[in-house]
């Protein structure tokens, strides 16, 4: 009997995994904490017209759900609930929500939405600074009634009540413009504050200290951006090489540490000078030729915190005021504006908190100016984006409409066995073998060219192998195979346009009469193919 009893005990122990320290800590707190009448009342009062869902440490409860009575909260806790989360959207009846709903159904059930700004950072001090800038910006637009609460970890939640927004703008019902309009407001505020926040950080913190805190190198905190696409630009070097024997000079972009050879005598060249430049991989432009298309910022403020747009999404939930946080066991406590500067994380210990109202009574339409400014900003931003696209099209030599048309046409045309007479001069010259640096670039061009024409995998592999044998130094077969496998799994791309530097750098740009009429080597092959067919 003793042996069997021991086995049963061991079996039960194996079936029930040990709780983590975080889980043990919060479960020791929940029942006592949520038994406080003032805590339950604060949570219940905020839950009106909201979808409210309990979290059982690691997972959420069923949806939709809501509180019918204040005692529902303690019943959820007895079943294992550790925290409570609710929606930004306000509903006439949250329990009627269905995953089968169309947008129209959601709009009919929704009676409004609150603007919730989630300020989050790995460092609470940065969250506090950003939140203060955010509050100042909201007050500048006339919003005096807003709520502030601690997230329970390292962030802050700022809420602007639904009553503060106009019920209709530009003939559209504001309640139906979720999540579009609150998302635009968040983007607008981020654009407005990110540079101010970076300046504020730089005033109060040394760059080396920021680098230490964030785990970034100093150079990674200095950001260079492409004005066309807004992506970070790379630092590259334009090197001038000199041949002591032939007196030749070659200017080329440095990509490897390999010393190039003179194209005439084939002897190693000497570096004469180098210039630093910015290069955008996406737009294929550099600051040497287009300096006006790049901008430099000292600090990328997104390293620290932003107004989080993730929360602005349909049916997304956020932690309710005075709910506990699973990782810290701290309360999501409400903070007055005047207390924010001196608030410390230890002030959120669950048994030391005082209850305050998180949801103030807003004045009618006090957030109207903010909403109008954000919508005007979005309209201007879209205009700038269209202008940047036109600028990009001018530089690249091909429009998005042309690309779309070309891709559609190419899907209809398959030339499985393109012969030498329809292949453009640049591709024919590449196929004769690369006599100097640029084999990988040439491989990129060849794969995209032949795959765009619908050449079979076997024929493509054969052509590439034959080409590789003609190179001054063949590429490793393993590298070629890895490239072919990658392109086999991914979408077919067009080779670079004819006005790109790829062909001139490889010294294969020898245009004929037809070349001057087309923008891409694939178009050349297609036109020649149809001409031969006729």
Evaluate if residue 493 carries a pLDDT over 50. Answer: yes
37-46 vs 21-34: helix crossing angle, rounded to 10:
90
Helices (H), 309-367: none
Query: Given this model, what pLDDT does residue 307 score?
Result: 45
- The residue among 192 and 499 whose pLDDT is bigger is 192
434 DSSP β-pair partners:
none
Maximum separation of any 2 CA atoms in the chain, in Å: 98
How many residues appear in the chain? 534
Q: How far is CA 361 from CA 42, 167, 227, 501, in A?
A: 15, 16, 43, 62
Query: 365, exposed or middle or buried, with CB in 10 Å at 0-12, 13-18, 19+?
Result: middle
Per the CB < 8 A criterion, the answer to whether 299 and 221 are in contact is yes
Q: To the nearest whole percent, how much of the chain has pLDDT over 70?
A: 82
Question: In angstroms, rounded to a whole number, what is the distance separating the alpha carbons of residues 100 and 224?
Answer: 46
pLDDT greater than 60 at residue 236:
yes
Q: Please state, in angstroms and rounded to a whole number, the distance separating the CA atoms of residues 225 and 215.
A: 21
Q: Which helix (H) or strand (E) element contains residue 86?
A: strand 83-87
* Res 10 pLDDT > 70: no
Contact 298, 198 (CB under 8 A): yes
Residue 76, pLDDT above cutoff 80: yes
Q: What is the pLDDT of residue 396?
A: 46
Spatial distance between the Cα atoms of 94 and 162, rounded to a whole number of angstroms: 17
Q: How far apart, in whole angstroms, are the C-alpha atoms of residue 112 and residue 48?
A: 12
What per-residue confidence (pLDDT) applies to 229? Answer: 62
176/159 Cα distance (integer angstroms): 19
Q: Quick one: pLDDT at residue 144?
A: 93
Task: Say whether the peptide bond before residue 179 is cis (omega within 30 degrees of 0).
Answer: yes
Over residues 292-308, the mean pLDDT reads 53
Q: What is the mean pLDDT of residues 348-365?
A: 93
Contacts of 481 (CB under 8 A, 6+ apart): none
Phi, psi (rounded to 5 degrees) for 91 = -120, 150
pLDDT confidence tier of residue 207, bands split at 50, 70 and 90: very low
Mean pLDDT within 445-467:
88
Q: Are 317 and 53 in contact (CB under 8 A)?
A: yes
Helix (H, G, I), strand (E, B) or coil at 188: helix
Tell me the pTM.
Answer: 0.58
Average pLDDT, stretch 105-133? 89
Residue 452's contacts (CB-CB under 8 Å, 6 or more residues apart) are 410, 492, 493, 494, 495, 522
487 vs 110 pLDDT, higher one = 110
Exposed, middle or buried by CB within 10 Å (0-12, 13-18, 19+), for 26? buried
The Cβ of residue 355 has, within 10 Å, a number of other Cβ atoms equal to: 15
Q: Please state the separation of Cα 446 from the chain's center in Å.
A: 32
Q: Which two tokens stand for residue 437?
A: 């640096």
Q: In this predicted model, what pLDDT tens digit does every residue of 256-282 receive, in sequence order?
A: 778 888 877 888 888 888 888 888 776
Q: What's the rounded Cα separation, in Å, for the pair 134 and 306?
A: 10
Please, what is the average pLDDT of the chain?
A: 81
CA distance 288 to 501: 13
Most confident among 24-28, 397-401, 525-529 (mean pLDDT): 24-28
Q: How confident is the model at residue 245 (pLDDT cuts 50, 70, 90)?
A: confident
Distance CA(318)–CA(321), nearest Å, equals 9
Given a cut of 90, is residue 90 above it in pLDDT?
yes
**pLDDT (average), residues 473-493:** 80
Burial of 476 (0-12, 13-18, 19+ CB in 10 A): exposed
pLDDT at 376: 93
| pLDDT reading at 222 higher than 60 | no
> Once rounded to an integer, what is the mean pLDDT over residues 186-213?
69
Name the percent of the chain lying above pLDDT 90: 36
| 59, 83 Cβ separation under 8 angstroms | no
| Angle, vertex CA 169, rays to CA 168 and CA 170, nearest 5 | 130
Which residues fall within 8 angstroms of residue 383, CB to CB, at 6 or more apart?
Answer: none
Please say whether the dihedral angle defined by the alpha carbons of residues 172, 173, 178 and 182, taken in this order, is positive or negative.
positive
Split at pLDDT 50, 70, 90, the class of 486 is confident
pLDDT in tens, 92-106: 999 999 888 888 999
pLDDT score recorded for residue 223: 52
* Dist. CA 63–CA 127, nearest whole Å: 31
Q: Is the sign of the CA dihedral 370, 371, 374, 379 positive or negative? A: negative
Instruction: Quick: pLDDT tens for 131-181.
Output: 999 999 999 999 999 999 999 988 899 999 999 999 999 889 999 999 899
Q: Please give the structure tokens belonging to residue 45.
A: 């009062």
Distance in angstroms between the alpha carbons of the first and the last residue of the chain: 95
Place of tokens 């690249």: 396
């Amino acid at each position: 009997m003793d042996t069997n009893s021991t086995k049963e005990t061991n079996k039960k122990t194996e079936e029930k995994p040990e709780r983590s320290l975080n889980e043990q800590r919060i479960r020791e707190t929940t029942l006592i904490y949520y038994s406080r009448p003032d805590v339950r009342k604060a949570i219940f009062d905020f839950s009106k017209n909201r979808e409210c869902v309990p979290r059982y440490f690691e997972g959420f409860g069923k949806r939709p759900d809501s509180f019918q009575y204040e005692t529902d909260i303690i019943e959820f806790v007895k079943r294992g609930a550790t925290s409570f989360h609710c929606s930004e959207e306000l509903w006439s009846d949250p329990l009627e929500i269905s995953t089968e709903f169309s947008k129209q159904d959601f709009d009919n059930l929704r009676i409004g939405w609150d603007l919730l700004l989630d300020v989050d950072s790995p460092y609470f001090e940065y969250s506090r600074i950003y939140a203060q800038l955010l509050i100042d910006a909201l007050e500048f637009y006339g919003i005096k009634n807003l709520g502030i609460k601690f997230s329970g970890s390292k962030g802050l939640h700022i809420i602007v009540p639904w009553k503060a927004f106009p019920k209709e703008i530009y003939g559209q019902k504001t309640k139906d413009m979720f999540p579009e309009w609150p998302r635009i407001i968040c983007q607008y505020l981020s654009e407005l504050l990110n540079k101010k926040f970076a300046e504020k950080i730089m005033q109060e913190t040394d760059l080396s200290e920021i680098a230490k805190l964030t785990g970034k190198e100093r150079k990674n905190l200095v950001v260079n951006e492409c004005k066309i696409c807004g992506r970070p630009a790379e630092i590259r070097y334009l090197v001038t090489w000199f041949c002591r024997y032939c007196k030749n000079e070659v200017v080329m972009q440095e990509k490897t540490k390999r010393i190039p050879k003179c194209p005439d005598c084939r002897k190693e060249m000497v570096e004469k000078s180098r210039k630093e430049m910015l290069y955008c991989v996406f737009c294929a432009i550099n600051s040497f030729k287009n300096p006006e298309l790049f901008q430099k910022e000292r600090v990328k403020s997104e390293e620290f915190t932003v107004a989080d747009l993730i929360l602005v999404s349909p049916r997304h939930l956020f932690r309710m005021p005075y709910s506990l946080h699973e990782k810290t066991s701290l309360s999501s406590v409400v903070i007055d504006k005047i207390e924010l500067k001196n608030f410390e994380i230890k002030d959120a210990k669950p048994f030391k908190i005082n209850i305050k109202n998180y949801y103030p009574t807003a004045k009618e339409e006090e957030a109207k100016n903010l909403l109008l400014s954000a919508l005007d900003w979005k309209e201007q931003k879209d205009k700038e984006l269209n202008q940047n696209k036109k600028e990009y099209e001018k530089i690249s030599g091909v429009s998005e409409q042309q690309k779309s048309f070309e891709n559609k046409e190419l899907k209809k045309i398959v030339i499985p066995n393109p012969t030498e007479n329809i292949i453009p001069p640049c591709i024919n010259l590449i196929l004769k073998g690369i006599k100097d640096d640029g084999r990988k670039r040439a491989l990129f061009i060849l794969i995209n060219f032949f795959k765009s024409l619908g050449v079979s995998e076997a024929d493509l592999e054969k052509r590439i192998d034959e080409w590789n044998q003609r190179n001054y130094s063949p590429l490793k077969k393993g590298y070629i195979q890895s490239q072919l496998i990658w392109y086999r799994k991914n979408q077919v791309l067009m080779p670079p346009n004819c006005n790109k530097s790829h062909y001139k750098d490889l010294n294969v740009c020898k245009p004929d009469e037809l070349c001057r009429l087309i923008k891409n080597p694939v178009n050349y092959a297609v036109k020649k193919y149809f001409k031969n067919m006729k």
